[in-house]
Structure formats: C-alpha cells, structure tokens
Amino acid sequence: MLFEKAVSYYRRACAEESIRRWSKGCHRPTRPSVGTVCLKYRRIASTSGTGTRMKADTGKPGATAAEASHDKVRQQRPSGNAVTVRDVARMAGVSVATVSRVLNGNDKVAEELRDQVQRTADRMGYTPHAAARALASQRSTTIGAIVPTLEDPNFAVGIAALQKRATEAGYTLLLASSNYDKQEELRQVRTLTAHGIAGLMMVGAQHAPETYEILHAKRIPYVNTWVLDDRHPCVGFDNREIGRIVANYLLDLGHTEFGVIAQRSLESDRAAGRMAGIREALAARGVKPPQEQLIARSHKVMDGQIALRMLMSGARRPTAVVCGTDVLAFGALVEARSLGIDVPRQLSVTGINDIEFSAHTLPPLTTVRLPVEEIGERAADYLLASARGQQAARVAPVPFSLIVRGTTAPPQGSGASASRRRRKQ
C-alpha cells in the first residue's frame, strides 16, 4: 500500500514538473529525476487530516503544485505551439495510447488515471486536430450554447435570438443541454470546445471549476446569462431583486402567509437568488419565512400541481404562493381549481418569466417579464465582438418588470379585500 502511494506521488510530481518545464518554453518536456522531484517538492501534512498537499516554489502561501502549475501554464504558455497528445502523455507520465483512450472516452481506463489525464489535458488547453486547425487559421465561425433544459420556453426564445444574431454575422450555433447537472455541462463544454468554437454562452454563473479552467486554458470567450456576476462576463439581471419585488408587492396587498414553489437552489443560482430576495423582503417586514416546496431539476405543470397540493395540506395554509416559473404557476392554478380554491379571492399566485400563455390563463397570471430576447442578442454581441478581438462590456444588466394581472389580490377578510369588494358593488 505504501509503495503504491509512493508511485502515485512520484507520477503526480512528474506531471507537475513537466508542466513547469513546458510552461517555460520547452516543447518536449521530459520526466524529471527522483532527486529533482524530491528537491523541488516536499510533503506538507494537511492540518485538516484529510491528506497531504505538495507545496511548490510559487510565491503563493498554501498553493498546491497543481494550482501553481495551472497558473504558470495560463500565464507563460507559448501562444504559437499547439498541444499534442504526446505532450499530454509526457506531462501526465503515461503512454500516448492511454491518453488517446481517455480522450476518446474509453471506459476501460481506471477512473483515477482517467481523471489525472483529463485534468492535465484541460490545464494544458489540449484541442483535437480539427478544432486546432480552425483556431490556428483564426477562421472558426461556430459558437456554442449550453442551457439547463430545452423544455423551458424562455431558454428557447433566448437561444433563437442568439442564433439569429450569430447567423447574420456568418456564424453557426452548436446547442447542448445540461439537464441542470454540472458534470453533464462539463462534458458538453469539452465536446463543444473540441469542435473549435469561437465562443460559448452558458446560463448562470454556477459551473464546475473545470469548466472555467478549460475555457481559460483554450482562450475561448464565454458569457454567463440570466444572472449578474462581476467575476465573469455576463448578461442578465439581479435575481435577488426579482424575489424582493414580488414579495414586496404581495406584502403591500396584505399577505403574511407565504408559500414558495421553486427549483432547488443547489441546481440553480437563479432560483437561489430569488429565494434569498423573498426571505429578505419578508424579514424586513417581520413576516415569518415562507413555506417551501422545492422542485428538483424538472419543473413541469405536474410539479406545480403536486407542490401546491402539499402546501395547502399543511397546518399553515398560505394566502399567497410565489412560483419560480410560469410553468410551475400554471400547475398551481390547475391544482387550485381542482381543490375548489378561488384564485385570487382565496389564494394569490405569481410566476416568473411571462411566457406567451401567461396572459391567457384563467385568470391571467401575475408574473415578472424577463427580456429573454435581449439576453440572447446581447450575449451574441459579446461573443462575436470577443471572437473578433474587439472590446465589449463584461457586465450587461437588462431590465425586468412586474406584470400585474388577475391571479393576485388582497387576502380574504383583509380591509383591502373588503374595500375592493365594495368598489365592485
């Protein structure tokens, strides 16, 4: 067991030493001697007891050798030298055949070794031959886009606007879906970058760390959408503010018992931001936190139905339900009708998105209108400008608005509700 650990440590050290030499301009990195490795690296016992860390002479206290090498590769990598499978093999300390099997998706390679090779290739910015030729010729006319789901009408509208803008500029769009799974998104990023895309649009800012590493290593422009985050190029809006605006509107109507039907925040930073905004607005007014029914990944009409049924079966029945999407709100309206609940007299319901059918439900849905076409257009403008080497705004906020329709009203029995009934009479 001890011998296996020593071999594993030596192979990792070889890979990191090779990356260090290559980043300084050596085109054919070689395996360092045991003495070189021992002099350059020393084991540092982890204070947490979870393992050991290798410390390199990087000038960054506590930095791992992998982190240091990644920084050096990004800063010093010769711009004119394409990375080959042979280069990856030397740096990973494995054979060319092993690298080929890993990069071709062969599952017969041990998982630990496969991860080691893939991380090395990602840090080096390895690109397959077809993509390398496109990038070298500076004639790549393809951009990529990854959305969490193809079932959300809003994403479809945004992608259509992105594609229209790209087509007008002579570019082709490659589209993929992650199903709200970071690892699936990472696989799609590797696939799209292997096709030599000139830029990539993603949704949200919450991605696997390797996703950003790949895009930086390969110098591929990217833009996050549906979110504002000054750490990355983005086109979107303040999701926390959306939650605050909806909650404050319902509070102003007199509601104090709230329910929320939304996507799990671990799978969507947009949902997390909106939920945080709702809680902040309620706390500022001294109102109890909302009851929550969180939907994992899929958010269909049926999910809204099931979630509302659970909310209304509890001891605290809400008088207002905030839904994370219009589709979930449709489900809530259907279930309210089946339960004999009068919307909006007995229950107010709101959505977010303002998709086409929201104005035609019975009653018409109160919701938040998001400028999804503008998001797609401005994301395309950023990627196209970046691909041409032009300057573009890194953070582009877009406006949103609350659309009040027929699914919201003061709670039954409140003074505002009684006044409203008298006006109708």
Q: Write out pLDDT tens, residues 159-184.
A: 999 999 999 999 999 999 999 999 99
Q: How far is the C-alpha of 271 from the C-alpha of 180, rounded, in Å?
A: 12
pTM for the model stands at 0.68
| pLDDT tens readout for residues 119-139 | 888 787 776 664 554 544 455
Q: Is the distance from CB of 377 to CB of 383 less than 8 angstroms?
A: no
Q: How far is the C-alpha of 227 from the C-alpha of 236, rounded, in Å?
A: 4
Residue 14: its H or E element = helix 2-23
Place of tokens 């709101």: 350
**CATH code matching the domain that covers 140-236+374-379, chosen among 3.90.400.10, 3.40.50.2300, 3.40.50.800, 3.30.300.30:** 3.40.50.2300
E-state strands within 25-65: 42-45, 52-55
CATH code 1.10.260.40 region(s) in the chain: 2-126
| pLDDT tens readout for residues 277-302 | 999 999 999 999 998 888 876 788 99
Q: Which CATH architecture has domain 2-126?
A: Orthogonal Bundle (1.10)
Report the Cα–Cα distance between both ends of the chain, in Å, rounded: 85
Q: What is the pLDDT of residue 312?
A: 95
**239-369+403-424 fold:** Rossmann fold (3.40.50)
E-state strands within 81-171: 142-147
Short-list 375, 369, 323, CA closest to 347: 323
Which positions ≥6 away from 421 have C-beta within 8 Å? none
CATH code 3.40.50.2300 region(s) in the chain: 140-236+374-379, 239-369+403-424
Residue environment code for 291-326, b if the CB has 16+ CB neighbours within 10 A, otherwise e: bbbbbeeebeeebbbbbbbebbeeeeebbbbbbbbb
Q: Which two three-digit tokens encode residue 134?
A: 């496109």
